Amino acid sequence: MSKKILLQDILIRTSLQPGDMGYIIHLHGSLYNLEYQYGIAFEHYVAKGLHEFYENYDYARDRVWTAEHKNKIVGFLLLMHRENAAQLRYFILDPAYRGIGLGKKLMGLFMDFLHETGYHSAYLWTTQELHTAAALYTGHGFRLTVEKDSEDFGKKVIEQRYDWKSPRD
């Protein structure tokens, strides 16, 4: 892209549209394979989770943030209700849109919704090699609580769970 991308040029919408889920699955599969050598099992994991989200979607408790630039999805983040917490899932940015504050913006929207809806806790799973994402999570009050070895994504990784608790509790 020849023109500098500005955060204010990106539209963030909170609804799923036809084609979104397929594109998010594709983006995860291709990007995580390119950057981290994850296999098809990871893409399958994302597809199953998005299906679960869609089947259990509750507008009052769940949310997606789909970032678009020139009608192309360039970022995505999802909040999924669980029995006693919110789960952060499928946070991804197109590499051309990193470093402009989009990740911070999406994370801020996630945290705002978390507070507005009265969640007392949230969690997410990631892998040890995603250092930039981990810094973003800890910057918003998430703390590393669990680490475990895994081969679920077609290679050996250390999965990490980060938890957030409301400061009001």
What's the CATH code of the domain at 11?
3.40.630.30
Q: How far apart are CA 71 and CA 129, in angstroms?
A: 30
* Structural domain contains residue 101: yes
* Structural domain contains residue 165: no
* Structural domain contains residue 117: yes
Number of domains in the chain: 1
CA 93 to chain centre: 9
* Structural domain contains residue 130: no
* Structural domain contains residue 136: no
Residue 99 is predicted with a pLDDT of: 93
Q: How far apart are CA 8 and CA 52, in angstroms?
A: 32
Residue 117 is predicted with a pLDDT of: 95
Each of the 169 residues of the chain gets a pLDDT tens digit; together they read 447 899 999 999 999 999 999 999 999 999 999 999 999 999 999 999 999 999 999 999 999 999 999 999 999 999 999 988 999 999 999 999 999 999 999 999 999 999 999 999 999 999 999 999 999 999 999 999 999 999 989 899 999 999 999 987 6
Q: What's the domain range around 113?
A: 7-122
* Structural domain contains residue 133: no
Q: What is the 3-state secondary structure (H, E, C) of the chain?
A: CCCCCCHHHCEEECCCCCCHHHHHHHHHHHHHHHHHCCCHHHHHHHHHHHHHHHHCCCCCCCEEEEEEECCEEEEEEEEEECCCCEEEEEEEECHHHCCCCHHHHHHHHHHHHHHHCCCCEEEEEEECCCHHHHHHHHHCCCEEEEEEEECCCCCCEEEEEEEEECCCC
* Structural domain contains residue 145: no
Residue 57 is predicted with a pLDDT of: 95
* Structural domain contains residue 58: yes
Residue 154 is predicted with a pLDDT of: 87
